[in-house]
Amino acid sequence: MIRVALLDDHPAVIVGLQRLLAPATDIEVLAAAANEAVLARELRGRRPDVLIVDYDPRRRDALALCRRVKGRPDPIRVLIYSAYAGPALTVAARAAQADGLVDKAESAASLTDAIRRVAAGETVMPKVSRAEFEGALARLEQPDLPVFAMLLDGAPVSMIAEGLRTDEREAARRAQRVVARLRPRLTPVRARSGHAGSRSG
């Protein structure tokens, strides 16, 4: 059984996700909440396998949340679920060390498949062209580049701190700064035919 937790400050999103996941007999929703503190209480010490969090630039910054979760000593897997799942968000999600990104325009089957793959240790992200990647890279300053490279390699905060020759608090701050600079401000990706295929594992 894959245990998931849902985090979103919009009740309709949580209800929608619960309905989408209900038919999957191998996925159990342990808890759902609008913020981290409430979610921790709802979990009551139980550890989910995957945290599913919505990204919407008008509301809670899921990228900063993801970076905090992945910066913990024993992080859980994080899947970002968003209507804004274009190339810019993909690069930012990779920098935040998310384990997956799924477009809300995709089917319930695509979401449950992504949950299973992420829970199994895979990385599930839409593909990004070289030009799109370089466009995102241009938003960073020169001191950000080594941090960005280490984040893409999956380096923990301790390794980033060692590479920068600083303490872990400063390393975490710089990692969050990189994610913030890459954070896209964009319109939702429209549903399109053949959208479900382009992921890298």
Per-residue confidence (pLDDT) for residue 97, from 0 to 100: 97
Looking at the DSSP bridge assignments, the partners of residue 32 are: 6
Q: At what angle do helices 168-182 and 145-152 cross, to 10 degrees?
A: 90
Q: Is residue 195 part of a domain?
A: no
Dig out the tokens for 166 from the structure.
């600083």
What is the 3-state composition of the chain as percent helix, strand, coil, each rounded to the nearest 5?
45, 15, 35
Q: Is residue 127 part of a domain?
A: yes
Per-residue confidence (pLDDT) for residue 192, from 0 to 100: 45
Per-residue confidence (pLDDT) for residue 57, from 0 to 100: 77
Counting as low any pLDDT under 70, the low residues of the chain are 59-60, 186-201
Q: Is residue 153 part of a domain?
A: yes
Q: How many domains does the chain have?
A: 1
Per-residue confidence (pLDDT) for residue 197, from 0 to 100: 41
Q: Is residue 198 part of a domain?
A: no
Q: How far is CA 109 from CA 32, 44, 115, 155, 189, in A?
A: 20, 29, 10, 31, 19
Instruction: Check: pTM over 0.75? Answer yes or no.
Output: yes
Per-residue confidence (pLDDT) for residue 35, from 0 to 100: 86
Dig out the tokens for 151 from the structure.
């984040």
Distance CA 23, CA 7 (A): 20
Domain that holds residue 134: 1-190
DSSP state of 187: P
Q: Spell out the residues 6+ positions from residue 133 whose beta carbon is closer than 8 angstroms to its own.
A: 87, 91
Contact between 63 and 93 (Cβ < 8 Å): yes
Q: Is residue 150 part of a domain?
A: yes
Q: Is residue 199 part of a domain?
A: no
CATH of the domain at 23: 3.40.50.2300
* Strand, coil or helix: 56: coil
Strand pairing report for 125-126 and 100-103: unpaired
Contact between 83 and 105 (Cβ < 8 Å): yes
Nearest Cα neighbor of 139 from 179, 87, 187 is 179
Per-residue confidence (pLDDT) for residue 146, from 0 to 100: 96
Q: Is residue 201 part of a domain?
A: no
Dig out the tokens for 22 from the structure.
């209900």
Q: Is residue 163 part of a domain?
A: yes
